[in-house]
Chains A and B, each alone.
Chain A
Amino acid sequence: MFYKVLDGVKVLEFGHLISGPFCAKILADLGAEVIKIEEPGGDEARKQEPFLGDIAGPERSGTFLYLNMNKKVITLNPATVTGRKIFAQLLAEADVLVENNSLKRMKTLKLTYTQIKKINPRIIMTSITPFGQTGPYKDYKGGELVNTQMGGVGFISTREPDTSKAPIKYPAHLFSYQAGLCAAVATMAALFYHRGTGSGEQLDISEQESTLIDVMNPVYNYSYTGHIASRAGVLTAAPTHLLPCKDGYIHNGFVRESHWRQFVNDVMGHPDWADKEIFKDYLSRAQHWDELRPLLVEWTMQRTVDEIYRESQGKRIPIGAVYTSAQVLQDRQMAARGFFVEVDHPQVGKIKYPGVPYRFSEISQDKPTAAPLLGQHNEEIYSRLGYSKRDLVKMEESGII
């Protein structure tokens, strides 16, 4: 008998944008049936770039298409009496509710955990908010930019000596995705424990806290020495930098002293300056980085990224190749592992998306089904709940679906 990990698990998603939908996507990728509730007008992610061919439209957003593969969607206005009744029907049959709405909104919609528990005591309610369900900032607004700064990664976002430049966020919505993954992990643990027991619970996931995972070094450093890391301070830790090459950049990851020695001797061919006293250890190299950098760059600029990357890695030196998205898509390693998946969508056609990062030896990873069109599964789901096609027409006319 062939199973998926979450075969038979029913997940209801009342999410929007990234963290909630990404959590539910991970559960869908593992085989759960995910029904996503979109309010009339649809998930805000449908309005997010990139759009195929720079033509905006609810079915053309790459962000939405990626986040909602393998799901079913229905439209529903939970603020109406009928909408609330349908929501309750769906809750009654669900194992998990994933949501990333403000506390205030869930309260207005009468969808607090206390209320939901009365409908279905065995439900696992995974709630993701910017700052969690408790504490003085629980009602504060978040989003990627604010979260990056409140989550401590912003203040040390770059390694540059000049702190007159503002801290920045990381590319796209990285930490919103990380919150979604943390939520999925907590949900999987709860499913493993509660499934079949009749018990359930609410899981409280704070986007700020899932971002704080990344602020490790500064915390233990502060804990033991009182040192406060800043964008400038990071430089002195070890001379690890990006260096320009003929066609891009490499990262010189000389983590151990042996990496540095091997690189100057075996890859660069032992230039005269390599034995200078000022380059003798990493502290000294960090202090004299302004003298060292041009010597390295003179050499790297004569070579391509891949030449330096392959030769160094062949000698087990952790040099990184700073790839553009185009190069990532062509990279032989990711290609060999079949990481990127092509998905055919009725409106945008075949597009390559990032796949999943894990391979199970006993479970084949099916090709994902394309993200659904707005309201695509209304008929299927609503007829399962006992509504006729005529009811659907009436509900649509009344602004309920």
Chain B
Amino acid sequence: MGTAYLKGIRVIACTWGWAGSWAGSVLSDLGAEVIKMESNQKLDNNRGHFKRGETGVNSGEFNFTNRGTKSCTLNMKKPESVEIFKKLVKISDVVITNYTPRVMPGWGLGYEVLKAVNPGIILVSLPGFGSTGPDHDYVAYGPTIQAASGLTWSHGHPGEEPILAGVNPADPAGGMYGVLSVLAALSYRARTGIGQHVDIAQSEGITTFIPEVILEYTMNNRIRPRMGNIDEIMAPHSVYPCKGKDKWVAIAVGTDAEWETLCKVMGKSELLKDERFSDRFTRWQNQDELNKLIAGWTKGFTPYEVMHKLQKAGVAAGASLNVEELINDPHVKERGVYIEQNHPEAGKSIVFRSPWTSALTATNPPAPMLGQHNDYVFKTLLGMTDDEITRLAEKKVIY
């Protein structure tokens, strides 16, 4: 793999679902060797969604979130598995997990045990609500966490009921804080030699992204209303209908100069003399009327036409892209954001690279098949013999 940020760092990923798995995938792009622990005894939920291939365990969701990791199967219900796990801990640097906090201690693999095996080990846990506190065992998926953070209540059209978001921002936020914590603890260990346990609450992670919602209350004792596309001061600032079915474009005007430009591009210079829209404040006050006028113009064009016209003139505008448009967008393509990989069983798969570019960030191979790296882990790393492996497989330890 050549030189990379985390070359020589080995990570054991006890992950499932989205946040933890994807954190493992990013760590692998950063150069770490990431070994995902799995078991037929209880498969990662994501292996079951959008099944591909003959074995039925290579799902779209799994392949998207586990790219670059290695898979090893160990049935943690068996005491022998726990001992094998400890051997792996001895030669690893990091254990990352997003299981509910009772799971790993339940296997006899709490932080104190890991530390006794390898004093330099770093454990990063990222359960939905953290590993401490009265509700730490609550069952948490993205929407559960977003509900607890104030995000869900604040999402929706102005004056209407809250509405469920189409994506779950709590998962990537939690995963990213997981990667951050691994890097922070590795930096600390590099200087001091000391390992540690870093505990993240995903519910807190997403709350750090919406401080305005919290501060409106702590500063002004007010619950921030649902605002849809309305900005505190910018107007026009909305998403407008375009030519075609369900086609939209966002336009955001900050300054007077941008307003002038917008009017000129629209061929509506008369609006510049209209008192209703003469300064930022009046435009904000009269934004409903303003939005109607703009929608009248945008309807004649495609989202891309509006975007390019306005951006070339210096006004912020962006097409509301659906997934097909995104993948085929010339800019996204040129930057190599989505990559087509050939998964050995699932076939042609579109995956996402890590969300930044730098010389030392790699884009690693497709997600592993279940137990694909058993030989590597048990023979190469742990020095087991074929006989031992066969015996453990028969006993459903390696399983």
Q: Report yes or no: A142 in contact with B316, Cβ–Cβ below 8 A.
A: yes
Instruction: Give the number of residues in A that approach B within 8 Å (Cβ atoms).
Output: 145
Tell me the B residues contacting A by CB distance below 8 Å. 4-6, 18, 22, 26, 30, 45, 50, 52, 60-61, 63-65, 111, 129-130, 132-141, 143-157, 161-169, 172-173, 176-177, 179-181, 183-188, 190-192, 194, 196-205, 207-220, 223-224, 226-229, 231-233, 237-241, 246, 248-250, 252, 254, 311, 314-324, 326-327, 330-332, 334-335, 337-338, 346, 348-352, 355-361
Distance between Cα atoms of A201 and B315 in the complex (Å)? 31
In the complex, whether A240 has a CB less than 8 A from a CB of chain B is yes
Q: Report yes or no: B217 in contact with A220, Cβ–Cβ below 8 A.
A: no
Chain A: CB-nearest residue to B147: A320
Chain A: CB-nearest residue to B221: A326
A251: chain B residues within 8 A (beta carbon): 143-144, 147, 152, 164
**Looking at A146, A171, A173, which has the most chain B CB atoms within 10 Å of its CB?**
A171
List 13 extra interface pairs beyond A5-B185, A242-B161, CB under 8 A: A136-B330, A152-B323, A159-B166, A182-B176, A185-B180, A189-B183, A201-B358, A210-B355, A223-B60, A240-B143, A337-B204, A353-B214, A362-B194
A-B contact list, 22 entries, CB within 8 Å? A3-B188, A140-B311, A142-B316, A145-B239, A168-B157, A171-B155, A171-B213, A172-B213, A189-B6, A189-B183, A201-B360, A216-B352, A218-B322, A219-B64, A221-B323, A248-B153, A249-B153, A318-B139, A323-B147, A328-B149, A357-B204, A358-B177
Chain B: CB-nearest residue to A211: B355
Query: With A222-B350, A361-B198 in contact, do A216 and B65 touch (Cβ < 8 Å)?
Result: yes
Distance between Cα atoms of A216 and B163 in the complex (Å)? 20
Q: Report yes or no: A212 in contact with B326, Cβ–Cβ below 8 A.
A: yes
A226 to chain B, nearest CB (A): 8
Q: Report yes or no: B173 in contact with A360, Cβ–Cβ below 8 A.
A: no
Chain A: CB-nearest residue to B163: A158
Q: Report yes or no: A147 in contact with B355, Cβ–Cβ below 8 A.
A: no
A231: chain B residues within 8 A (beta carbon): 166
Chain A: CB-nearest residue to B303: A149
Q: Report yes or no: B152 in contact with A189, Cβ–Cβ below 8 A.
A: no
A178: chain B residues within 8 A (beta carbon): 169, 172-173, 176, 209
**Looking at A140, A188, A223, which has the most chain B CB atoms within 10 Å of its CB?**
A223
In the complex, whether A50 has a CB less than 8 A from a CB of chain B is yes
Q: Report yes or no: B197 in contact with A215, Cβ–Cβ below 8 A.
A: no
A232 to chain B, nearest CB (A): 8
Q: Report yes or no: A242 in contact with B162, Cβ–Cβ below 8 A.
A: yes
Query: With A52-B219, A215-B326, A339-B207 in contact, do A360 and B185 touch (Cβ < 8 Å)?
Result: yes
B252: chain A residues within 8 A (beta carbon): 141, 143, 145-146
B156: chain A residues within 8 A (beta carbon): 158, 168
Q: Give the 8 A-B residue pairs with the shortest CB-CB distance, closest first.
A: A320-B147, A220-B60, A156-B166, A62-B215, A357-B204, A141-B316, A146-B318, A223-B350
Chain A: CB-nearest residue to B353: A209
B311 to chain A, nearest CB (A): 5
Distance between Cα atoms of A49 and B143 in the complex (Å)? 27
In the complex, whether A193 has a CB less than 8 A from a CB of chain B is yes
Distance between Cα atoms of A358 and B199 in the complex (Å)? 5
Please encode chain A, from 185 to 217, with 1 for each CB lying within 8 Å of some chain B CB and 0 for all others: 110111111000000011111101110111111
Distance between Cα atoms of A204 and B202 in the complex (Å)? 26
Distance between Cα atoms of A202 and B349 in the complex (Å)? 30
In the complex, whether A157 has a CB less than 8 A from a CB of chain B is yes
Distance between Cα atoms of A171 and B209 in the complex (Å)? 10
B64: chain A residues within 8 A (beta carbon): 216, 219-220
B122 to chain A, nearest CB (A): 10
In the complex, whether A37 has a CB less than 8 A from a CB of chain B is no
In the complex, whether A313 has a CB less than 8 A from a CB of chain B is yes
Stretch at the interface among A127-135, A289-297, A383-391: A127-135
In the complex, whether A228 has a CB less than 8 A from a CB of chain B is yes
Restricting to A243-266, which residues have a CB under 8 Å from any CB of B?
244, 248-251, 253, 255
A131: chain B residues within 8 A (beta carbon): 331
Distance between Cα atoms of A217 and B188 in the complex (Å)? 35
Q: Report yes or no: A358 in contact with B318, Cβ–Cβ below 8 A.
A: no
A251 to chain B, nearest CB (A): 5
Q: Report yes or no: B335 in contact with A209, Cβ–Cβ below 8 A.
A: yes
Please encode chain A, from 262 to 299, with 1 for each CB lying within 8 Å of some chain B CB and 0 for all others: 00000000000000000000000000000000000000
Query: With A163-B246, A358-B198 in contact, do A137 and B311 touch (Cβ < 8 Å)?
Result: yes
In the complex, whether A148 has a CB less than 8 A from a CB of chain B is yes
Q: Report yes or no: A336 in contact with B133, Cβ–Cβ below 8 A.
A: yes
Chain B: CB-nearest residue to A134: B335
Chain A: CB-nearest residue to B124: A358
Cβ-defined partner of B240 (8 Å) among A63, A166, A185: A166
B192: chain A residues within 8 A (beta carbon): 1, 3
Q: Report yes or no: A158 in contact with B164, Cβ–Cβ below 8 A.
A: yes
